[in-house]
Structure 1
Amino acid sequence: MTPKVLALLVLSLLQPHSTGGQVCVTKHQVMSAVRQMQKVLSTQEATYLQGVRSMKKVLTALQSDLQKQASKSNETCPALGTPANGKKLGKKAAVGHEIHFLCAPGFQLLGSESRMCLENRTWSGQQPTCKPEVSGAQTRSRDWVTNSSFSRQPRCADSGSSRQCTCDSGFRIKAGGICQDVDECELFQVNRESRICIHECINTPGSYRCICPTGYLLNTEVNSCEDVDECANNQNNCSRSEMCINVYGGFQCVRPECPKPRLNTSYVKTSNYQCERNPCPMDSKSCQLSANSISYHYLPLHSNRSAPKVLFTMSTSHFMGDSLRFAITGGKGHSSLAVERSDRYTGVLTLTSPVIGPATLEVELEMTEMSRKTLLGRHIFHVTIFVSQYDF
């Protein structure tokens, strides 16, 4: 609607009446005209916003479908079979993981003893087979040690009348005089207190290797897994209308939206995560009781995080009343959360008990400003907590 049309509409609403030869407009007529104009503008705004939202949804859905088709759907290598008369060590088929093969006593392994899942989702080496040993060949051990990478001959030296044999680092002598690999993962990874890898340990000949899950990078100096910020590194598939939120081990795409206009109450977006209420009509009680502001907050949290822990703080920089009240007014999965007052002007959202991930907690918080028991303002905080699958 153009300014010219608005002006004509106002003039048509303000029909003057004559009193003693003078033309004047009463206060009641002015207020009535203003209220009608507000209704007209609200209707126009709602129609426009609804059209924009519908167009955004169509474009977002189209972009999401195109991104899914372009993205890689398979992040693992094809499953490897177990050779007949043999064993396969390792179950993970993700990039960087290794699978090892052993043959039963009396059989010899032909092919690759170890295969790694490569970046191109293929396995290194060749699929092994276990063939019967040549008749008359001496079996060194009755154990499953025919993978030469995990067993080798010791280094021996004669010292006078005795003979001393030693093994390479990471190996120890077993019955039959064979140096057998020490499985550090089996020895130390079982207990949390003694584990040598924070996530997963892969045994290798004479040593071991730590593996991190998707979304983390290995810090080789301390064998820890550090979160990758997919949002900062553009490693996400969020659309232009969505905000990327980095969480532990991944990311989330969110699109905070203001509430739709209702009962003379409408909101305008003042930032990516903040909505402010438009001025209320003078006679609209429902609008005046609605929230002055609505904000959206997204928090990452480790699985099984110790409690209590303060997660979120509420306060106001324009305090006009004599008291502030804080409360949880809605949400889901918030039984492990509580609101507490930390001082006269501040409230905090506290984690009261550990939460095992992966999980998503949603909570709606309300901060009410009062003056002599009269409501001055309400502020709503929508807090979403993304709990990681891991404790690191």
Structure 2
Amino acid sequence: MKVFFMIIFTSQLFTSQGQDCQSGEEVLNALKQVQKLLSAHETSFLQSLRSLRKKLSLLQNSTVKHNKSTPDKSSVSDCPPPEPLANGRILGTVFKFGHEVHFLCSSGFQLMGPETRVCLDSQNWSGAQPSCKFVDTTVNNDASASISASSSSRSHPPASVSTHVRASRCIEFLDSTHCTCDQGYSISSHNSTLCTDIDECDLFRRTRPGRLCLHTCVNTAGSFHCECPAGYSLGRDSRSCYDIDECARATHDCSSEQVCVNTFGGHRCVDVDCPRIRNATYIKTSPLRCDRNPCIQGDNACFQAPVFINFHFMSVVSNMSTPTVLFRLSAARILGDTLRFSLLGTQGVQHFSVQRSGRLTGQLVLENSLQGPTTVEVDIEMSEMERRVLLGRYVTKLTLFVSPYNF
């Protein structure tokens, strides 16, 4: 760009001098000055070019040395997923060069092998695949203690440190030490080289109950697990509890004459017997129903007795929200002009009410919540009327088994 500018300047100089008819000596001096200026610019350009080439050469050499000492991570393939850990779990989902995975065993199992493996540039994991060995805490406690002590000694903490304390990972960076812990542990407030177990159960117990586990939370070294009461199974989410239906699974101990009623956390074996009512006799027509035998003509006491008695059993959780409809009764057909629904006696009056929900339908409503474990019985009567004259009574005897839990 500079050379191009000088050429234009020289052309203008010749034109100007030609017009003014200057002497040849002046023209010659001007050309010498232009030549000196061009020479100075050329020298500066060559020096700059040599300096640039030198810097590029130094940069290229340093890059080659760095590539020889450090492999190109982008050219290194991922490691294959580590083998599943039986009776334990693997922490870490990135299997690229330089990344780590951590191994944790379930409660009652001891980790045998390295706690951490690193993905190498050879596309293999460092160390050997660990395993989880069952530890019987009721027998051979001395052996378990020695295993714990030897494991702790390899991690540098004192021999008395339990599995709830382990060594931290520390690195030196810019004249300072930075320590980190595995998942489930935090840096000790007394010693930054130690990691202490985080009690997740206690931590969330102070916030919202049941946030981690629906029933019981058990803290373990570096983790936790949930447990359910007897008669329940742990859900797939590892925190919910689901009732085991012993009646459906045929794991109950009821006789053939008894009725198996599944309850929350267990079951009941119920004997269904027809009641004894004065001036009336009943016969069992199904496992849950008793029908009145025909009455003698003119026996009004017999006609006042229920035409049939149904038995119904329900299992409910403790402290249900109210009001809640628990049960509905309905008549297939009606001979009279009116149906009435009511509770018999005073039993259950403080907890229930009966409401009409349709022309031929009534419903039992829970008005006040029930605290378990308990058993509550209530009798519901459906009366058929014709011009206010009783045509027949029908009774349903409902038994509620209330769970001690709210699930």
The TM tier, using the shorter chain, reads 0.5 to 0.7
For structure 2, list consecutive stretches of 5 or more residues without a partner in the other structure: 1-105, 109-133, 150-155
Q: Is 1:327 aligned with 2:325?
A: no
User: For the residues of structure 2 that align with 1:176 and 1:366, how far apart are their CA atoms?
Assistant: 73
Q: CA deviation at 1:128?
A: 9.1
Question: Who is 2:376 aligned against?
Answer: 361
1:69-112 per-position Cα deviation (integer Å, ceiling 9, x unaligned): xxxxxxxxxxxxxxxxxxxxxxxxxxx997xxxxxxxxxxxxxx
Change in CA separation of 1:129 and 1:210 when aligned onto 2, cut-off 3 Å = closer
Which stretches of structure 1, 4 residues or more, deviate above 6 A after TM superposition?
A: 114-117, 127-131
Q: 1:199 maps to what in 2? A: 215
The 8 Å contact of residues 303 and 389 in structure 1, kept in 2 or not, is answered as yes
Question: Which structure carries more relative contact order (alpha carbon 8 Å, separation 6+)?
Answer: 1
- Amino acid in the other structure paired with 1:214: A
The change in CA–CA distance for 1:307 and 1:116 in structure 2 (over 3 A counts) is farther
2:170 pairs, out of 153, 156, 162, with 156
Q: Work out whether 1:167 is the aligned partner of 2:181.
A: yes
Deviation at 1:115, TM superposition (A): 7.3
1:334–1:361 contact (8 Å) kept in structure 2: no
> How many angstroms does 1:328 deviate by?
0.8
Q: Is the 8 A contact 1:333 1:360 kept in 2?
A: no
CA contact (8 A) 1:201 1:208 kept: yes
1:219–1:346 Cα change, 3 Å = same
Aligned counterparts of 1:116 and 1:331: Cα–Cα separation in 2: 56
SS of equivalent to 1:169: coil
Q: CA RMSD in A?
A: 3.0
Distance in 1, matches of 2:278 and 2:107, equals 55
In structure 1, the partner of 2:389 is 374
C-alpha distance in 2 between matches for 1:363 and 1:344: 23
Indicate the percent of aligned positions where both proteins have the same amino acid.
40
Residue 209 in structure 1 maps to residue 217 in structure 2? no
Superposed, 1:229-244 pairs within 5 Å as 229-244=245-260
Q: What residue number does 2:332 align with?
A: 317
State the distance in 1 between where 2:142 and 2:350 align: 52
The CA distance in 2 between the partners of 1:379 and 1:288, in whole Å, is 12
2:290 counterpart of 1:275: yes
Shift of 1:262: 3.7
How far did 1:319 drift?
A: 1.0
SS of the residue corresponding to residue 231 of structure 1 reads helix
| Distance change >3 Å, CA 126–CA 318, structure 1 → 2 | same
Q: Are residues 1:300 and 2:335 paired?
A: no
Offset of 1:255 from its aligned partner? Answer: 1.2
Number of residues paired by the alignment? 269
* TM-score, reference length from structure 1: 0.63
CA contact (8 A) 2:135 2:144 kept: no
Higher normalized helix content (fraction of residues): 2
Q: 1:229 to 1:129 in 2, by over 3 A?
A: closer
For 1:255, the equivalent position in structure 2 comes to 271
TM-score by length of 2: 0.61
Q: Which amino acid aligns with 2:230?
A: T
Query: Unaligned stretches of 5+ in structure 1?
Result: 1-95, 99-113, 118-122, 134-138
Higher relative strand content:
1
Distance, in Å, in 2 between the alignment partners of 1:216 and 1:383 is: 25
